[in-house]
Structure 1
Amino acid sequence: MEAGSVVRIAAKTRGGPSPCPGCGSVSERLHSRYRRRLADVAVGGRRVEIMLSVRRLVCGDTGCTKRTFAEQVAGLTVRYGRRTPLLRVMLEKIAVALAGRAGARLACGLRVIVGRSTMLRLVMALPDPAAVTPRVLGVDDFALRRGHVYGTVLIDCETGAPLDLLPGRDSRPLAEWLTGRSGVELICRDRSGSYAEGARIGAPEATQVADRFHLWQNLGKAVEQCVARHRGCLRTSQTETTESAVNAHKPERQAAPLGAFAERARRHHALVHDLVEQGHGIRGIARRLGWGRHTVQRFARAATWEELVDGRWKGVRPSKLDPFKSHLRQRWEAGCTNARQLHREITALGFQGSYSLVRDYLDDHHERLALAPIAPPAPTVRQVTSWLTRHPDSLTEDDKLQLKPILDHCPELRAASGHIRVFGEMLTELSGHDLPAWISAVRADDLPGLTSFAGGLESDLDAVINGLTMRWNSGPVEGRVNHIKMIKRQMFGRAGLPLLRKRVLLTAADH
């Protein structure tokens, strides 16, 4: 036969007693025979059909409602079934793993023709796993449709197995599930008031434990509010840091020039100034030394001999441009960089120098600006919140350099940083007995965001202290929520809570 064809197997049952499905009495009185067609798992890439001839027997109990019944072959047939138990089990496992449409495609690849609706019916017909009452119950919410429809997942924190999926995330479904289930000693939950109320109503004797991850998440939101209220400090500290960096990049005064020319300039400057102090005039000094009058005049006008060294001390000597430099810098920073235009403006203000003097000064000013570091943008609120709430060992050197001026400039954020570190130590070292003192310290500093966070902790103090003291947390629940997300996306969001609940429970049971 060709690949993909059907393998048909003809078989016939032998005689023997068979129990009646109505009354259970055994009979072997033959009434007739009829043929059943059963689908079985594929063999060698070929579909398999079993053509089975079975007996119809007469029930010997006159009080039974069934006059006749068909015999069943153990391990091969079931009442009203058109598939062998082996094939049904295989399809059930495919349906649990892949649900309807994807499961039907895989079954077709295995040479079993089945529709997506049939696969879904197979899943829904499976019984739920055996119900157990956990000692440590984990509670969390998950989204069926994010922002619109939510549900509640319950798991056994000791084994990680899911127990149930409830509609909604309010207190009533949780309280109803807990009612009548004695034996729940601990309930791990987030900071939701609905779950706290449901646990209190349904299991008043159970100890509630607030999850540490959600506590830190709530603290992060409070820190973000605190940083946002001091957003101006971020910009101010960044401005001061930039100015210090610019000052650090300004060229330092060079050392005194050396060389033969510098030595000669020093001697000539001292000689000219000595003669001037003796009362000699410029012309007389020029005749006595044999120099030009303008040369003597240049040495006499220089206050120090360094001013005479060409190219070394440019800009130190007085200039006609000095009274107008502030105007040039203001116009340059305003966006006007045309030297001709700036020369005309300061000429109108009284400048009597040449255009080349203005041009050279602007060129030098532009070079100094190019050497200065470009100011980076001020850190955002989220960045500073991340620096404050991360472990100090995980911060890079660049993060520490940016955070330090902010804390130095803003005492409120510095105090908030200290409170965050103390709370982090309580969370990692499980020292929840220090929480009341921490709340008092935060209230004393009256920091925005953190004060309201501390007030929220007081309203749920026992559960929070348990969460900061006991080893139990909602980590296994978060892992199960990720599993629910995977199954939900696999179904493209086209199935409701009943099918999702069935697949979550059965998938976990298979593992």
Structure 2
Amino acid sequence: MSDVAAAHRGCLPAAVPDPEPAPASLEELPEPTDTPARRHAKQLFEAVHAITGTGRSLSATARELGLNRRTVAKYARATSWQERVRRTPPRRTTSLDPYLEYLQQRWDEGEHTATVLHQEITARGYQGHYQRVKMAIAPLRRGLPVDTPRERPPSPRQVTRWITTTPSRRGLHGAEALARLLTHCPELERTHDLVRQFAAMLDARDAAALPNWLE
């Protein structure tokens, strides 16, 4: 099963949702000079150079900061953090942007539970998913600034787990991601159907449909 998911690795990014569009009024505002992306670049530049300046290798720096070695190499080569900002394409604003400052404030006050933070900003008008808040505060655990989450595609193993798990036990995030993926990839959709059909035969203890299933 995992081999099938791995064979269609190119489809897996389809499981990641598109960025949530920000309200039109927010998109019309001019881009602020001090953005989360700029703060992130500055802090990351300083963190990388603080470690590499002591003679540590790029690999050691990447391990200490919990970053990809390629990312560390780019910041280590830069002579200023502004270089990294200029090379970074502008990201789309999202519906989480108005709440990033609040999330940073609450984190500094000692609230580090994603569920609680999601509930708090939901009460303030946020309509997005809990998972996005969880990813947004993940950098804070490494001493980096809060930022709009950029969800990674699932691994073949994760997709396998989604497909083989009873639908009622997948959880909302997994169910939504799998639905997006199956819509994009007919081969994995067929695989999912076959797995569910076999599971139904086991649940019913009825092998009458097995010959057709094997074909």
TM-score, normalization: structure 1? 0.20
The structure showing larger relative contact order (alpha-carbon pairs under 8 Å, at least 6 residues apart) is: 2
TM-score, normalization: structure 2? 0.45
Higher helix share: 2
Which one has the largest radius of gyration? 1
Higher strand share: 1
